Each structure stands twice: as C-alpha cells, then as structure tokens.
Amino acid sequence: MSEPRPNSNLTNGAAVYLQDVHLSLTSAAGEVNILRGISLAVDQGEAVGIIGPSGGGKSTMMMVIAGLERASSGQVETAGIDLGQMNEDELALFRRDNVGIVFQDFHLIPTMTALENVAVPLEFAGIEDAYERARDRLAAVGLDHRLEHYPGQLSGGEQQRVALARAFAPRPAILLADEPTGNLDGKTGQVVMDLLFELHDTAGTTLMLISHDRLLAERCDRIITLADGKITDGVEA
C-alpha cells in the first residue's frame, strides 16, 4: 500500500494539535458549553482511543478536528493546517485531501454499488485511477467478490468494510472513527476492528477512535477520557 501524503506543513510536530479549544452553542435555554478548554497533541502515525460518558464531547471534538464544526476559540491544527483560517470551501478541500471518517451508520449511498461508493468520491477528487484504487481497497477488506453489490444486499459488517475501504482509499493522513462497531454484533465488530487496525498499521495513518468499549480503545497506543467537555485523564502517552 502507498504511504499517506506527507504533511510538510506541520508546525507543532503533531498530526492533530488542539490548544485551549472551546465550543459553545446557543440554545433556547441559553449558551451551552460543549468543549471547555481542550488541549491535545497527537503524533503522526499514533493511534488514540477516546472514551468517556455520552454527551461528554467526544464526537464534537472529532467534528472540530475534521473541520465539520468550528471552535468558538482556541487553536485547531489538523495535518499541520490551521483550520481557523479557512472558509467552508477550503475546509471541504482540506477534508478531501487529508481526513478519512468512519461513522457507526456507514453512510453509504444506497443506489451505488460497493465499488461505486468507494470510487466515485475518488473521481470527484480528480484521481485518475479511481476505480482501480477502489478495487484494491475493497480487496484489502475482503470484499473483492462483492464489488457489484448494493448496500442493501450487504450485511452490516460488509457495509462497514465498504466504509473503511472508502475512508482509506484517498490515503488520508488522519482517520477519525466514531463508534465504528456501534451497529454491529460482537463477532462482526471484532472483524471490522481487526481490519481497521491492520489498515492503520500498514498505511501509517494517524488514528483517532471513539469507543464506549474500553477493551477496544486499549488496542490504541494510548487512551484519553473526555467528560463534561474536558479531557480528564490520559493526556500523556
């Protein structure tokens, strides 16, 4: 497998760098503080497990790292790029070129085959060998015999493997996985996680994994805990 794109812009020697990040949203009940002073550095190629109670800010922090939510204050650098200086179009291009995301709900397009679900985003990114690369990625997750099947014809585990192939196909510098086994049974979830870590190890991709399963998170290089919008432990490796 080819290595991810080098990150020549890194200013802090980290793939992800957060410094005193806050995120507040206004609701009918007033201002809600979701992230409250998050500071975190994740090394290139590192795997970090993120655990903590529901509503503690885990998914929101990941959205900020991906540029899908804007921090109210603080510094956010992902793949060496200061996201606070970018407009929405620039953020979309940044995600396309640097970040892979895997959700628990798969987010596959039902009218596209497994092959098309992986290849079409590559085509939109201007990658000439999109379909060849998509076939390679699907083969890497054991789905070379399911290329022409639609999501509705695939099991939950197979759909999540397609989502993994899609996330890794652009060779992202950083992979964000938010409860990727949340909708899978235990055995199928184990297969998917084995594939996730195998791809991470082979590609050298930085991995940030949200999970309610501490045993799963312990497969990472270190664990951090978020509660009430703050990192409560595990900042150091």
Per-residue model confidence as pLDDT tens digits over 182-192: 888 888 888 88
pLDDT at 42 over 50: yes
pTM given for the model: 0.86
Residue 45 parent element (H or E): none
CATH of 16-233, one of 3.40.50.300, 3.90.1150.10, 3.40.50.2000, 2.40.110.10: 3.40.50.300
* pLDDT value for 218: 94
* pLDDT value for 151: 96
Q: Give the domain ranges of the chain.
A: 16-233
* pLDDT value for 53: 94
DSSP label at residue 6: P
Q: Are 121 and 89 in contact (CB under 8 A)?
A: no
DSSP label at residue 4: P
Q: What's the average model confidence in pLDDT over 196-204?
A: 89
> How many CA atoms lie within 13 Å of 32's alpha carbon, on the beta-carbon side?
11
Q: Which of 129-138, 208-217, 228-237 has the lowest mean pLDDT?
A: 228-237
pLDDT at 5 over 60: no
Determine the angle formed by the axes of helices 156-168 and 114-124, rounding to 10 degrees: 20
* pLDDT value for 192: 85
- State the average pLDDT for the chain: 90
What would the two tokens of residue 202 be? 């082979």
Q: What's the average model confidence in pLDDT over 167-196?
A: 89
Q: How confident is the model at residue 75 (pLDDT cuts 50, 70, 90)?
A: very high
What would the two tokens of residue 43 be? 């090394």
Other beta carbons within 10 angstroms of residue 88's beta carbon come to 9
Phi, psi angle pair for 32, to nearest 5°? -115, 125
The residue with greater pLDDT, 160 or 234, is 160
Question: Which runs of consecutive H residues, i.e. helices, occur in the chain?
Answer: 58-66, 88-98, 114-124, 130-140, 156-168, 186-203, 214-217
The residue with greater pLDDT, 87 or 189, is 87
Length of the chain in terms of residues written: 237
* pLDDT value for 1: 35
* pLDDT value for 234: 61
pLDDT digits (tens, 9 = 90+) for 44-56: 999 999 999 999 9
In angstroms, the Cα distances linking 223 to 34, 66, 86, 122 are: 20, 19, 30, 32
With 0-12 / 13-18 / 19 or more C-beta atoms within 10 angstroms meaning exposed / middle / buried, residue 108 is buried
